[in-house]
Amino acid sequence: MEFFERFAIPHPSPVIYASMVVIALTVIAIIAGLTYFKKWGYLWREWLTTVDHKRIGLMYLISALLMLFRGGVDAIMMRAQLAAPDNKLLDAQHYNEIFTTHGVVMIIFMAMPFIFAFMNYIVPLQIGARDVAFPRLNAISFWLFFMGAMLFNISFVIGGSPDAGWTSYFPLAGNEFSESVGTNYYMIAIQISGLGSLMTGINMITTIMKMRAPGMTMMKMPMFTWATLVANLIIVTVFPVLTVALAMGTMDRLFATNFFTSANGGMDMLWANLFWVWGHPEVYILILPAFGIYSEIISTFSSKNLYGYKSMVASMVIISVLSCLVWAHHFFTMGQGAASNSFFSITTMAIAVPTGVKIFNWLFTMWRGKIRFTVPMLYSIGFIPLFTIGGVTGVMLAMSAADYQYHNTMFLVAHFHNTIIPGVVFAMLAGLTYYWPKMFGFMLNERIGKWTFWLLSIGFVLAFFPMYITGLDGQARRMYTYSEATGFGTLNMISFIGAGIMAIAFALIVYNVYYSIRYSPRDIGSDPWDARTLEWATNTPVPEYNFAISPQVNSIQPFWDAKKKGHVLFPDKLDKIHMPNNSGMPFILCSIFFVWGFSFVFAIWPLVILSTIGIFACLALRSFEKDHGRYISVEEVKETEEKTGGAKL
């Protein structure tokens, strides 16, 4: 019995038991379905062993959407708990676990894979490349992310979820106050996933710097590619800091070191500094690719070239630098002193300037443009006023003296969501709708998409704007209940109603996918939006090799100029194409990483040793492997182009 008690949930509830049943039934259904339809071989050949950047992008996308709904359930439960005073829906412990997992899932396991999905799928197409620089490393990156996400999510039913907040501050996250293995899950799952993110950063930087099409200079790159480059430069700068911090936190919990303890020479504020040295640039890792997506969409549906290209690039570079100089604004109330608070207050407010430049660039792009109010364009237009409000409240929080009033209240929660939801979630949904026909060969239904946009926007305003008021009135965040005498009840009920409307909007997204699969026409061609950049110059579905002939780039918008000005986009002759082979090693290696992580969580040292040996064995096998890829013949290319409607040869 001791063996099973080790994995027991320390604070079980009917909801957790129900989740166990649902997870078990889902796993059984998946296994039964794959067996009945004889799809195990297909799954292995086409997906588990793929190194194709497009398929990896789609796997990131599916994972992100699943995590969006997983984190959304946590959000609904929190809003339901706070909808009325003295509510007993959740106890304090369960609420702590839910707001912790909600933050981690949404930031690390939803938003990050969502942007990686677009980076993987779109960037090689935008720069005229046939794949990323390191295809097998790309597969390892995805599977490390996926195994980290799965490891974190099983904490809910095996051993208990983390409960020290998504920032996991010490000493609260130490063994003294977090006795269960929940925080172990946090430390190790994010560590594994973060390794994948760091590898993606290296891969994307190399791809963009070394694999652009002939003629595509740095100042002819599409704006999403620029955003991807800058975001990944931030990744390789700050993710090693998180890696070190998580390793130190793991050693404190498992090996009794004293990096972050409040005794024996430890320093709990060291964790806070290391976390936010990563944590605040992380916000811009998410928002910059979103800005890139908005730039592509606004330009396309305004039927104009993007206004102020050079200033857009410069503003992103300035944002990336300033993002690494603002972390200590999280400590305004922690006794740093006037000089430190003043410096970080100034840098925090300064970051609003390049962001404002981008807002005006988008507005000037739309000025006198021939605007088409498609679903992606609605998200892009709606983002501007909502995100601006979030930015203004950020400037309020940047004033260190005023922050003594705002800090640790629901005002801060409202501000954060007021930037992340319009800034990232709206962008991801806009990009999903915009690139859906390129990914799947048919378009999502516009009418259902517009209903989704309006419900999501209205629900968002109702859910988060009341929090500004309750925060200014003193409602603290992370509190699982409040008394009726506070007067917060009415506004919190409005927030709950808004969250419910947002949930309906997300359900409509699922219905839209179902409806469009059944009824949307498939004869949409390769360029249904009349777009401007190279990804739309490929066939639909996009062949494995992306481009039969490498494109020749002569301008910032090469595809548009090829359509409208007669530029020759594919001047060379057809030749055989070199492509990498699929490999099962990334999946196997990362599956062993999952076992390694699980063993570390529960301190099962024999299994830690065995899995460590397995990891190094996989690396050794790869070092002796001779795999030089394969060539696709001219005849095969011609046959593929004919099937996909290629008129570009």
Give per-residue pLDDT as tens, 44-67: 999 999 999 999 999 999 999 999
**Domains held by the chain: number:** 2
Residues 525 and 634 in one domain: yes
Contacts of 452 (CB under 8 A, 6+ apart): 375, 429, 505, 508, 509, 512
Q: How many beta carbons lie within 10 A of that of residue 479, not counting itself? A: 12
Q: Which of 108-117, 216-225, 556-565 has the lowest mean pLDDT?
A: 556-565
Q: What is the pLDDT of residue 14?
A: 82
Residues 443 and 530 in one domain: yes
The pLDDT tens digits of the residues spanning 619-629 come to 999 999 988 89
The pLDDT tens digits of the residues spanning 242-281 come to 999 999 999 999 999 999 988 888 898 999 999 999 999 9
> Which pLDDT band, with edges at 50, 70 and 90, does 647 fall under?
very low
Is the model's pLDDT at 1 over the cut of 50? no
Asked whether residue 621 is domain-assigned, the answer is no
The pLDDT tens digits of the residues spanning 352-409 come to 999 999 999 999 999 999 999 999 999 999 999 999 999 999 999 999 899 999 999 9
DSSP string, 525-587: -S-TT---SGGGGS-SSPPTTS-SS-----SSSHHHHHHHS---S--S----EEEPPP-SHHH
> Which pLDDT band, with edges at 50, 70 and 90, does 225 fall under?
very high
**Verdict on whether the full-model pTM lies above 0.85:** yes
Residue type, 638: K
Residues 32 and 88 in one domain: no
> Which pLDDT band, with edges at 50, 70 and 90, does 3 fall under?
low
Report percent pLDDT > 70 for the chain: 99
Averaged confidence pLDDT in the chain: 93
> Which pLDDT band, with edges at 50, 70 and 90, does 2 fall under?
low
User: How far is it, in rounded angstroms, from Cα 552 to Cα 576?
Assistant: 18
Residues 230 and 320 in one domain: yes
Residues 42 and 136 in one domain: yes
Residue 587 CB burial class (10 angstroms; 0-12, 13-18, ≥19):
buried
Structure tokens, 414:
């409202």
Residues 25 and 106 in one domain: no
Residues 160 and 23 in one domain: no
Residues 32 and 113 in one domain: no
Contacts of 293 (CB under 8 A, 6+ apart): 118, 224, 227, 427, 428, 430, 431, 434
Residues 106 and 27 in one domain: no
**Bridge partners of 578?**
631
Asked whether residue 606 is domain-assigned, the answer is no
Residues 418 and 468 in one domain: yes
Structure tokens, 579:
């492509």
User: How far is it, in rounded angstroms, from Cα 535 to Cα 547?
Assistant: 10
Residues 144 and 33 in one domain: no
Can you give the residue range of the structural domain that contains 136? Answer: 38-583+627-644
Asked whether residue 598 is domain-assigned, the answer is no
Structure tokens, 443:
């378009």
**Bridge partners of 577?**
632
Asked whether residue 599 is domain-assigned, the answer is no
Mean pLDDT across 177-185: 92
Query: What CATH number is given to the structural domain containing 286?
Result: 1.20.210.10
The pLDDT tens digits of the residues spanning 297-345 come to 999 999 999 999 999 999 999 999 999 999 999 989 888 888 999 999 9
Asked whether residue 422 is domain-assigned, the answer is yes
> How far, in Å, are 376, 377, 557 from residue 294 at the CA level?
9, 8, 16
Mean pLDDT across 148-155: 94
DSSP string, 208-277: HHH-PPTT--GGGS-HHHHHHHHHHHHHHHHHHHHHHHHHHHHHHHHH---SS-SSTT--HHHHHHHHHH
Is the model's pLDDT at 641 over the cut of 90? no
DSSP string, 463-484: HHHHHHHHHHTTPBTT-S---G
Residues 102 and 24 in one domain: no
DSSP alpha helices (H): ranges in 256-374? 268-301, 309-323, 338-350, 352-366
Tell which wins on pLDDT, 13 or 271. Answer: 271
Mean pLDDT across 104-117: 96
Structure tokens, 561:
């100029």
Asked whether residue 248 is domain-assigned, the answer is yes
Q: What is the pLDDT of residue 53?
A: 96
The pLDDT tens digits of the residues spanning 84-109 come to 999 999 889 999 999 999 999 999 99
Asked whether residue 619 is domain-assigned, the answer is no
